[in-house]
Amino acid sequence: MIEKVFRDPVHNYIHVDHEVIYKLINSKEFQRLRRIKQLGTTSYTFHGGEHSRFSHCLGAYEIARQITEKFEEKYPETWEKSESLLTMVTALLHDIGHGAYSHTFERLFDTDHEEMTCAILTNPKTEVHAILKQVAPDFPDKVANVIRHTYPNKQVVQLISSQIDVDRMDYLLRDSYFTGTNYGQFDLTRILRVIRPTETGIAFRESGMHAVEDYVVSRYQMYMQVYFHPASRSMEVLLQNLLNRAKVLYAAERDFFAQSSPRLLPFFEHRFTLEDYLSLDDGVMNSYFQSWIDGPDRTLSDLAQRYINRKVFKSVTFSSEDEDKLDILRNIVADVGFDPEYYTAVHHNFDLPYDIYRPRATKKRTQIEIIRKDHSLIELSQLSPIVASLSGTIHGDSRFYFPKDMLEETGIFATKNEEFLSYIYNDHFSPGEKNEN
Amino acid sequence: MIEKVFRDPVHNYIHVDHEVIYKLINSKEFQRLRRIKQLGTTSYTFHGGEHSRFSHCLGAYEIARQITEKFEEKYPETWEKSESLLTMVTALLHDIGHGAYSHTFERLFDTDHEEMTCAILTNPKTEVHAILKQVAPDFPDKVANVIRHTYPNKQVVQLISSQIDVDRMDYLLRDSYFTGTNYGQFDLTRILRVIRPTETGIAFRESGMHAVEDYVVSRYQMYMQVYFHPASRSMEVLLQNLLNRAKVLYAAERDFFAQSSPRLLPFFEHRFTLEDYLSLDDGVMNSYFQSWIDGPDRTLSDLAQRYINRKVFKSVTFSSEDEDKLDILRNIVADVGFDPEYYTAVHHNFDLPYDIYRPRATKKRTQIEIIRKDHSLIELSQLSPIVASLSGTIHGDSRFYFPKDMLEETGIFATKNEEFLSYIYNDHFSPGEKNEN
Amino acid sequence: MIEKVFRDPVHNYIHVDHEVIYKLINSKEFQRLRRIKQLGTTSYTFHGGEHSRFSHCLGAYEIARQITEKFEEKYPETWEKSESLLTMVTALLHDIGHGAYSHTFERLFDTDHEEMTCAILTNPKTEVHAILKQVAPDFPDKVANVIRHTYPNKQVVQLISSQIDVDRMDYLLRDSYFTGTNYGQFDLTRILRVIRPTETGIAFRESGMHAVEDYVVSRYQMYMQVYFHPASRSMEVLLQNLLNRAKVLYAAERDFFAQSSPRLLPFFEHRFTLEDYLSLDDGVMNSYFQSWIDGPDRTLSDLAQRYINRKVFKSVTFSSEDEDKLDILRNIVADVGFDPEYYTAVHHNFDLPYDIYRPRATKKRTQIEIIRKDHSLIELSQLSPIVASLSGTIHGDSRFYFPKDMLEETGIFATKNEEFLSYIYNDHFSPGEKNEN
Amino acid sequence: MIEKVFRDPVHNYIHVDHEVIYKLINSKEFQRLRRIKQLGTTSYTFHGGEHSRFSHCLGAYEIARQITEKFEEKYPETWEKSESLLTMVTALLHDIGHGAYSHTFERLFDTDHEEMTCAILTNPKTEVHAILKQVAPDFPDKVANVIRHTYPNKQVVQLISSQIDVDRMDYLLRDSYFTGTNYGQFDLTRILRVIRPTETGIAFRESGMHAVEDYVVSRYQMYMQVYFHPASRSMEVLLQNLLNRAKVLYAAERDFFAQSSPRLLPFFEHRFTLEDYLSLDDGVMNSYFQSWIDGPDRTLSDLAQRYINRKVFKSVTFSSEDEDKLDILRNIVADVGFDPEYYTAVHHNFDLPYDIYRPRATKKRTQIEIIRKDHSLIELSQLSPIVASLSGTIHGDSRFYFPKDMLEETGIFATKNEEFLSYIYNDHFSPGEKNEN
């Protein structure tokens, strides 16, 4: 096959040499990823971050292509050449099961994007499945096994999913590029030079240790600065409340939903198929929300217009010991006339930037291994004081969200708002003492 | 007002100091621009180019802000300070009347995005209008006059719309950044240093002449390389044929369209309001196209799935003298079973990269003026040999589009395809001689 | 004065609006900085890092200009406008006393670049002094007092010299840009938006805390990756041994040095003047070293040609408890025929990436202060876990340098080299056990 | 050999896989290039442009490495694998004969950097020669033949020297990066994808035509904006007058020069050897100029301090028909007390940005060939209107240089200066009419 290229602002070009890859990109399930934003509600805060999962998946594939090409050339004794295509295909398809606003949607409708990915890979009705089957009858299952971490070759599994994998490497660079924040930039070229397969997985030559360290720090900074940004999370809780209101209303307003948002019905009724799932995307969801603005329920209508027109909730942080006192705030919100069920929310965002492998942990982490000159392996945080400081530590905060109206100091609710503000100090919920701001 | 900032990958930050600007950004008509891609079908060719008109409009505003700030400070005798807000507002709102896939949509449904912009500005029902009116009762009309080029102050008009205006400066940099092509990059910093108001409009100090020249060349290259890319235009003609088929079918299939694509009805029936227009966006249109895949008409269904799944038409160039012989190709396409009305198209793309002011031209161009040391003005192409070479010259090509199936050399249509290919040489329609490829 | 600009790859443009600044740039003492590399021997390892102190000083000035311009506009109540020129001038001149290969030269010839800076500022014979005096009779002394940290206004002092000052901000960005390492990049634009003067010095608004954190991490990474690179330090020890040999030889070979390197005589004889000091630069020193290659002393000649032709020493790390056993290696080097005095060296490189203010420390650090919403100040490491982890910790290593010849496993010294290598394990001096490599 | 890498800001990394290349880089003749600035006097105007010929030569080599690697892999039938090393070596060494301030030096001392390059390659005393000879006895001559364009394989010759060669591609990108001007940036990645060997030389696939076009335009812009900058040329003419004064003085002041600038003697006396030539570099020359400041001749001393302290001459353009009237200006300069021989200069700078092959031209150009789909070749300007416009046209200007003092309107020479200025209009010599400025 004549090499095809796609211009890409992050990797300059995406190179496609395999017919299989080219066909997968052109499959309808993959093209659908063009209609799903990579960053979901974050693009409401960072307006440049409007790129799709399509572009991220191409990027993850390109990194896999560069790595496997190098592995074939430099480490033929450690890397099985036949794993290269599997690695590239899985990198390309690792997010194919993502749907519109996945994280919120999953919580409300019990879907799971990883399961969906495996369904797309193995369901005989999909174009993706048909293409994969042409490689070998068991190829679709192999790809699914890598996704599920059950594939025996740990090198492949770690390239696709570990604390430093093609997915994360691409999304840090890409989200950083498109949002215009430079925190996510790290030295991919150097990492690609020092990565190598070992008997037990993937490791990095010591000479590139600082580039790996820089990657870990970049990832931490992107979480703190971009992914956990309070305004993005605000749109997420608004969306959650909106969908929740729709779920609650559904029984009473079936006809309205059947007409305004037909493709959501199978989900309201817990009977969706893969095809139903694939029929949803950001554009479909947003056009439904627009329809809901004109609907019969005042709360649904108001939340929908707030979402569509980006009227974000405001928020304050709170300490875990004060979580049970949040009703103080909820009550004032209710007094002003907002149903706290739909006009407030609690949102926790915590991340473990890096961790060593802990055999007894629920979610075991594959630690990052560095190769010393004598070929022995050593875990990253033992060499890097910065990584050691982040290792095993949890970062993030808990926030209480409420309508911006609560902060207005004039108007009919002025007294209530004053009371509301008296519990807030330095943007933090401080119930102990009534503050005079 | 406390300055607000928006992170922007092109200008680093968008600064907002005016309450009016901030409110306009938060209006629902402006937020709607988040749901309309700046580049339309071009993002199917350059996958990075998924940015919205929202981000471009912020960018055009930011350039206007920087220019007017400098004009106020450095040229108080030539620049009327009160024009600054008008300039910034118009820069922000110049594209607010754009709809989904504007260029194609306009051709088929007789809409006009410039008229729509003026309607949004002056219609008392819009949030934008209400905000503008707070500035002054005649402010909405002033903005509309700048859009229509009838505003008396030519400095303002030229900053918004001329051969080197805030719109073009932003979109070249932005489209270049997001698509990952570097052809659109030029030295904005230098241009902002040498731009100045004159008695008759806008001009540039001679010391920055090469930066202006570079801008003209960049613009030309972006047209040739990105905006006129055959694959993007292919998606455009496919969309055009699809919408055309829907229009033709509408009378016979009213119920189908009423259910699958209700917001398009006012357009099919030539009775749309501003509200109808504003209810459309890329997501709405795409979700309609998805619905059409399952519709009753085979052609509509097939074109819709081709569009949604990016099955682009292929194309060949042709010379104007051969345009009347294209029926040769159309007939073969018909022989194979495709209705040429919907499965072929002719597309002309021509651009005049730069031109001097020609008093008798239908569309007069404001020429770019350079200020010499003695303060006299001289038109750019008189100083720049490169610009002179592009000046007044037309660049682009005409293409004939057809299904990719016509190029397949095997299968049941092999003989027909061979005949088809015999008229094509170096991707050019060569009817004179039957070629043996 | 008409604004002058200098094209700069780091800050895009350096803007000069003050006649004083322009004259200082054109003074002969400042122009001399063009002939002194910013990174000294590091350019032998990172070949792109060939920029001069001239360009760094312009950059530090530009950052000072941007900060003071903003301080004047936004914080007129906290920032004394008259301090702006002083700040910009000191930023421009802060390194004017640097000489060729300062760090090495200072150790051998008892010079001190800070003292030299003050001498240039206050010596009536310099052009710099004459220009400064035109501002005010006490202006030269004021600048010198800022340099010496004795100036009463702590805002000015901290902008020039603290853990986050215009000097460091410029050199991290600049060294990073020219060497092509991206570790030193941080978000200067954001830092310039959140920096502000306080009653007691300089602080940063909390919203920009992560940008400041990123700066601290960048600084750490540049030290670890670039400034402490073993190969650069190797050239430094080679230079040190070379100059040391010259010093020792001087008494016996006065005529040779008088002819080959006349401008060094005052330094050999401990009787140098400011003029003598200013007559030296990288080019002068290098041309002297070239002359020494043909000199009468074999060691001097050999070290000079090694330096000029970049024949770097190799190195191993060692633990402090083994430092007294290094004679084992020195003896083998001597056995092979190299004088250990000139052909080996011990080099310690340690950095304290960040520290809080410790009242009892010998060298007190000005801690970085963050401004909370309630206007209280909080020290950076209390908010940032990453900075906390680096705070007060020492990073770096100690290395033993020796001729590359010691690593050659063949040739006449093969046996000796084998013995030498037997004390080295993973590039570390391991005297406890003889290793079999 | 284990691959070595050099961090490079332009190409990210320079990769070295061949022992020969590594040894050449470490040779003393190549290391000497670290001491010679790539841009000569231009760094006095663009202070970032302080990079050396060393870094440019590594860059040209890296481009050659990438091209030949691809040629070997993709075009084994058209590209002789054995030519790869020759191409890389020649790319690395193509500038090894450059000396300090070559262009000026050559004019005054009848040296020639191309001849010097060949001398270094073929002289048995050089390290370079010894290394090349290890490849094959005739290898040094082969390299020299490529330099001289007499090597039979035109592919190799064109890669090293043609209108689009590795030398130009690197220096445009590099000079652009270091000076901080973006005019020289072009899409190298794309060019490297479309370049290919043909039977007769080198050509480019049509799909990359716009990248090649962009390269031609970039080159033109760098000449107009950077290389021909009047201030850089001013330093060049000052240097020329300075060296000329030294030449004239030499006979009378032999002792002074023998002591202050011994390595120049062989050149003053027309008896220099290769070794003499290699002993010179920027640092040596500059330290000589510094010595001359204290010399016995007032003119030499003054010109030397002007050069060292960057006291640039000012200039005006003039038309060729007025060149013989420049004595008007020279006479006024003389009246004020400056010897026009040393204090004025005429400088012509003209460039032919691109040209087709013209069989009868004195200096024949290898035209840039584009490969069409049917494999035929077509010359670039036939496809590109922009290139056509630049093709065969000469760009640049002629300038008359004089001391800045001539522009001062006050002081003892005020009347003379007024007369001087009366012949200048818009920075152009206008002898026809006395202007009243």
Quickly list DSSP for A334-365: HHTT--HHHH-EEEEEEE--B----TT-SS--
Return the higher-pLDDT residue of B36 and B350. Answer: B36
Give the number of domains in chain C: 3
Say if residue C390's pLDDT is above 90.
no
The two tokens of residue B387 are: 């610009």
Helix (H, G, I), strand (E, B) or coil at C370: strand
Give the closest-approach CA distance of A56 to chain D in angstroms. 21
Unique residue bearing structure tokens 């033949």: D145
**What's the DSSP call for residue A313?**
P
Closest CA to B334 of B425, B242, B405: B405
Q: What is the pLDDT of residue C415?
A: 83
Spacing of C-alpha B207 from chain mean position: 31
Residue from the list D13, D189, D193 with its beta carbon closest to the beta carbon of A189: D13
| Domain extent for D351 | 313-361+394-437
Alpha carbon distance B305, D91 (integer Å): 53
CB contact under 8 A, D47 and C31: no
B388 vs D: CB within 8 A: yes
* Residues D57 and D159 grouped into a single domain: yes
A228, A259, A279 — which closes off a domain?
A: A228
Residues of C in contact with D177 (CB under 8 A): 9
Residue from C45, C92, C290 whose CB has the most chain D CBs within 10 Å, to mutate = C290
Handedness of CA A110, A116, A122, A128 (dihedral sign): positive
Alpha carbon distance D224, B387 (integer Å): 14
Closest CA to B300 of B265, B260, B262: B260
pLDDT in tens, D99-121: 999 889 998 998 999 999 999 99
Single-letter amino acid, residue B51: H
Residue numbers of D between 146 and 175 with CB closer than 8 Å to B: none
Helix (H, G, I), strand (E, B) or coil at B86: helix
Residue in chain A closest to B279 (alpha carbons) equals: A290
Single-letter amino acid, residue A164: I
Give bridge partners of residue C349 from the DSSP assignment.
Answer: C397
Say if residue A437's pLDDT is above 50.
no
* Residues C168 and C317 grouped into a single domain: no
Kindly state whether residue B209 falls inside one of the protein's structural domains: yes
Handedness of CA D176, D182, D183, D185 (dihedral sign): positive
C202, C228, C254 — which closes off a domain?
A: C228
CB C83 within 8 A of CB C157: no
CB contact under 8 A, D48 and C8: yes
Provide the pairing of β-strand B395-402 with B345-351.
antiparallel
Number of H helices, E strands in chain C: 22, 11
Alpha carbon distance B63, C307 (integer Å): 52
Alpha carbon distance A366, B235 (integer Å): 44
pLDDT in tens, C249-276: 999 999 999 999 999 999 999 999 999 9
pLDDT bin (cut points 50, 70, 90) of residue C306 is very high
Say if residue C221's pLDDT is above 70.
yes
Residue from the list D210, D213, D389 with its beta carbon closest to the beta carbon of B389: D389
Kindly state whether residue D147 falls inside one of the protein's structural domains: yes
Return the beta strands (E) in D245-394 as ranges: 314-317, 345-351, 369-371, 377-379
**Phi, psi of A206, rounded to the nearest 5 degrees:** -60, -30
Sheet holding C428-429, edge to edge: C345-351, C395-402, C314-317, C428-429, C424-425
Alpha carbon distance B26, C269 (integer Å): 74
Single-letter amino acid, residue C219: R
Say if residue B7's pLDDT is above 90.
yes
pLDDT in tens, C5-56: 999 999 999 999 999 999 999 999 999 999 999 999 999 999 999 999 999 9
Kindly state whether residue B329 falls inside one of the protein's structural domains: no
Say if residue C435's pLDDT is above 60.
no
* Residues A62 and A87 grouped into a single domain: yes
Q: What is the pLDDT of residue D435?
A: 52
Kindly state whether residue D379 falls inside one of the protein's structural domains: no
Q: What is the pLDDT of residue B437?
A: 46
Sheet holding D395-402, edge to edge: D345-351, D395-402, D314-317, D428-429, D424-425
Give the closest-approach CA distance of C386 to chain A in angstroms. 7
Give the closest-approach CA distance of B70 to chain C in angstroms. 14
Give bridge partners of residue C135 from the DSSP assignment.
Answer: none
Residue from the list C210, C395, C426 with its beta carbon closest to the beta carbon of A225: C210
Residue-wise DSSP of D372-426: -TTS-EEEGGGT-HHHHHHBT--EEEEEEEE-GGGG--SSTTHHHHHHHHTTEET
A182 vs C: CB within 8 A: yes
Q: What is the pLDDT of residue C328?
A: 96
pLDDT in tens, A319-373: 999 999 999 999 999 999 999 999 999 999 888 888 888 888 877 888 999 999 8
If you average pLDDT over residues A33-51, what whole number do you get? 96
If you average pLDDT over residues D74-89, what whole number do you get? 97
Residue-wise DSSP of D43-84: GGTSTT---BHHHHHHHHHHHHHHHHHHHHHH-TTTS-TTHH
Kindly state whether residue B154 falls inside one of the protein's structural domains: yes
* Residues C94 and C214 grouped into a single domain: yes
Residue in chain D closest to A207 (alpha carbons) equals: D5
Say if residue D411's pLDDT is above 80.
no
Alpha carbon distance C94, C96 (integer Å): 6
* Residues D355 and D321 grouped into a single domain: yes
Q: If phi over 0 gives left and psi between -120 and 50 gives alpha, with beta otherwise, what is residue B412?
A: alpha
Question: Please, where are the H alpha helices in C195-253?
Answer: 209-222, 230-250
* Residues D217 and D234 grouped into a single domain: no
pLDDT in tens, B355-377: 888 888 877 888 999 999 889 99
Q: If phi over 0 gives left and psi between -120 and 50 gives alpha, with beta otherwise, what is residue D126?
A: beta
Q: What is the pLDDT of residue D433?
A: 60
Provide the pairing of β-strand A377-379 with A369-371.
antiparallel
- Mean pLDDT of all residues belonging to chain C: 93
pLDDT bin (cut points 50, 70, 90) of residue B184 is confident
A5 vs D: CB within 8 A: yes
Alpha carbon distance D159, D177 (integer Å): 22
Q: Under 8 Å CB-to-CB from B32, ≥6 apart: which residues?
A: B278, B281
Question: Please, where are the H alpha helices in B348-428?
Answer: 380-383, 385-390, 414-421
Residues of B in contact with A55 (CB under 8 A): 47-48, 50
Kindly state whether residue A169 falls inside one of the protein's structural domains: yes
If you average pLDDT over residues D352-367, what whole number do you get? 83
Handedness of CA A83, A84, A87, A92 (dihedral sign): negative
Share of chain A above pLDDT 90, in %: 81
- End-to-end C-alpha distance for chain B, whole angstroms: 69
**Phi, psi of B424, rounded to the nearest 5 degrees:** -120, 130
Kindly state whether residue B413 falls inside one of the protein's structural domains: no
Q: What is the pLDDT of residue B434?
A: 56
Residues of A in contact with B31 (CB under 8 A): 308-310
B211, B228, B245 — which closes off a domain?
A: B228
CB contact under 8 A, C284 and D290: yes
Residues of C in contact with A225 (CB under 8 A): 210
Residue from D2, D6, D55, D278 whose CB has the most chain C CBs within 10 Å, to mutate = D55
CB A44 within 8 A of CB A181: no
CB A371 within 8 A of CB A377: yes
**What's the DSSP call for residue A223?**
I
Question: What letters, b where the CB count within 10 A reaches 16 and e where it falls short, cover C228-247?
Answer: bbbbbbbbbbbbbbbbbbbe
Single-letter amino acid, residue A308: I
Q: What is the pLDDT of residue D183?
A: 84
Share of chain A above pLDDT 70, in %: 99
Torsion of CA B413, B418, B422, B425, to 10 degrees: 100
CB contact under 8 A, A393 and C385: yes
pLDDT in tens, B269-294: 999 999 999 999 999 999 999 999 99
* Residues C82 and C175 grouped into a single domain: yes
Report the CATH number that the domain containing residue A173 is assigned in CATH: 1.10.3210.10
Residues of A in contact with D13 (CB under 8 A): 189, 193
* Residues B215 and B243 grouped into a single domain: no
**Phi, psi of C353, rounded to the nearest 5 degrees:** -60, -35
Give the closest-approach CA distance of A211 to chain D in angstroms. 13
Say if residue B413's pLDDT is above 80.
no
pLDDT bin (cut points 50, 70, 90) of residue B435 is low
A12 vs D: CB within 8 A: yes
Give the closest-approach CA distance of B344 to chain A in angstroms. 21
Residues of B in contact with A9 (CB under 8 A): 48, 177-180
Residues of D in contact with A189 (CB under 8 A): 12-13
Residues of A in contact with B282 (CB under 8 A): 283
B182 vs A: CB within 8 A: no
Helix (H, G, I), strand (E, B) or coil at C5: strand
If you average pLDDT over residues D276-303, what whole number do you get? 96
pLDDT bin (cut points 50, 70, 90) of residue D434 is low
Residue numbers of C between 25 and 84 with CB closer than 8 Å to B: none
Give the closest-approach CA distance of D25 to chain C in angstroms. 10
If you average pLDDT over residues B5-15, what whole number do you get? 95
CB C8 within 8 A of CB C62: yes
Q: Which range among A422-431, B387-396, D10-19 shows the weakest confidence by mean pLDDT?
A: B387-396
* Residues A217 and A169 grouped into a single domain: yes
Reported ipTM: 0.95
CB contact under 8 A, C390 and A393: no
**What's the DSSP call for residue C258?**
H
* Residues A8 and A126 grouped into a single domain: yes
Residue in chain C closest to A221 (alpha carbons) equals: C210
Give the closest-approach CA distance of C180 to chain A in angstroms. 11
pTM score of the predicted model: 0.93
B231 vs D: CB within 8 A: no
C393 vs A: CB within 8 A: yes
D331 vs B: CB within 8 A: no
The two tokens of residue D47 are: 């202070």
* Residues A205 and A253 grouped into a single domain: no
If you average pLDDT over residues C387-416, what whole number do you get? 86
- For chain D, the maximum distance between any two Cα atoms, rounded to a whole number of angstroms, is 76
Kindly state whether residue A286 falls inside one of the protein's structural domains: yes
Return the higher-pLDDT residue of D436 and A234. Answer: A234
Residues of D in contact with A13 (CB under 8 A): 189, 193
Report the CATH number that the domain containing residue A245 is assigned in CATH: 1.20.1250.30
Give the closest-approach CA distance of A94 to chain C in angstroms. 29
- Mean pLDDT of all residues belonging to chain A: 93
Say if residue B167's pLDDT is above 70.
yes
If you average pLDDT over residues D252-273, what whole number do you get? 96
Residue in chain B closest to D206 (alpha carbons) equals: B426
Residue B79 Cα distances to B151, B204, C3, C205, angstroms = 15, 15, 20, 35
C116 vs A: CB within 8 A: no
CB contact under 8 A, B50 and A48: no
Q: How many CB atoms lie within 10 A of CB D133?
A: 14
CB D213 within 8 A of CB D380: yes
* Residues B293 and B174 grouped into a single domain: no
Give the closest-approach CA distance of B374 to chain A in angstroms. 42
List subunits contacting chain C, requiring 3 or more Cβ pairs under 8 Å.
A, B, D
Residue-wise DSSP of C26-65: TSHHHHGGGGSBSSGGGGGTSTT---BHHHHHHHHHHHHH
Q: What is the pLDDT of residue B415?
A: 83
If you average pLDDT over residues A4-22, what whole number do you get? 95
Residues of A in contact with C435 (CB under 8 A): none
Alpha carbon distance C49, D178 (integer Å): 10
Closest CA to C181 of C214, C225, C211: C225
Q: Under 8 Å CB-to-CB from D33, ≥6 apart: which residues?
A: D52, D53, D54, D57, D95, D96, D98
Q: What is the pLDDT of residue B357?
A: 82
